[in-house]
Amino acid sequence: MAKQQKQGLEDLKIQYRCERCWSNTEINLYPKSDFLLKDEKGFVILCLSCRTAAPKEVEKVVFEDLFLEYASPKELIQHYHAKSEKEALSQWCLEHKVEEVKWTIQNSEEDKIEKELVNEETEVPFGFQINEGKLQVNQKKADIVKRIYEKYLDGNTMEQISRSLECAPPMSTVLVRRILKDPVYAGYVFKGNDLLKGDHKAIIDIESFNSVQKKIVRNIRNPKYVYHPLVLGA
């Protein structure tokens, strides 16, 4: 019996991923009732890190449409093009007709690793550096960015890419995903809600960036939502 359970968990790791961050490391099935204010039947697949960060006794919409959708505050902020997590949460509440969310998104363990890879204070994207107040390509890191795009278009998963890169500290799957989705690498920047051509040099050509966005949407983890790829130059 124990052997069958162990094999079942191994099969789970092969077939499924954490519903929040895509990881297939230390994943397990947890009853939804562990997290929700009202009893709910069913289970959710989470890795240990996301299980630790999960909220307790919250409404179903908060758990499914906030916690499971955004693996870090940055993802939420970028989605709403907000200046802060508070502003992004306010927009999320309006969109989902929720009065208030008392729970705040916690970074996953992978996000904590990124502190040496992303400048948290100035928000300098990986692959760039600041020179005289402007973004400038860091060629050594830019080469890593190019490899990430090439590997993804060649059919590698984000997790496979993160494991294959030789970085110190190791690059997380979260950062790989962010690099693949950020238009800054194709020479564009967000200013408020507008996506504009930046005055910095692009690392990735627009055609490759657009191809990656379309592939990400095809591989989206949550089929109940309809996602549209960010296509540049359309």
Domains in the chain: boundaries:
16-96, 110-218
Site of tokens 């092969």: 14
Question: Looking at residue 208, what is its pLDDT?
Answer: 94
Q: What is the dihedral of CA 97, 191, 131, 150, to 10 degrees?
A: 80
* Other residues' Cβ atoms within 10 Å of the Cβ of residue 113: 18
CA distance 26 to 9: 10
> What tokens does 200 get?
């910095």
The CATH number given to 110-218 is 3.90.1750.20
- How many angstroms separate the Cα of 208 from the Cα of each of 74, 149, 213, 232? 24, 8, 9, 10
Residues 6+ apart with CB under 8 A from 53: 105, 106, 107, 108
Q: What is the mean pLDDT of each run of 10 residues along the chain (234 residues)?
A: 50 63 79 84 85 87 87 79 85 87 62 45 77 90 95 90 79 84 90 82 94 82 52 66
Tell me if the bond preceding 169 is cis, omega within 30° of 0. yes
Site of tokens 């969310």: 101
Burial class (CB in 10 A: 0-12, 13-18, 19+), 147: middle
Question: Looking at residue 114, what is its pLDDT?
Answer: 46
Question: Looking at residue 212, what is its pLDDT?
Answer: 92
Q: Which residues pair with 114 in a beta bridge?
A: none
Q: What is the dihedral of CA 201, 77, 30, 39, to 10 degrees?
A: -160
Question: Looking at residue 147, what is its pLDDT?
Answer: 95
Question: Looking at residue 70, what is its pLDDT?
Answer: 83
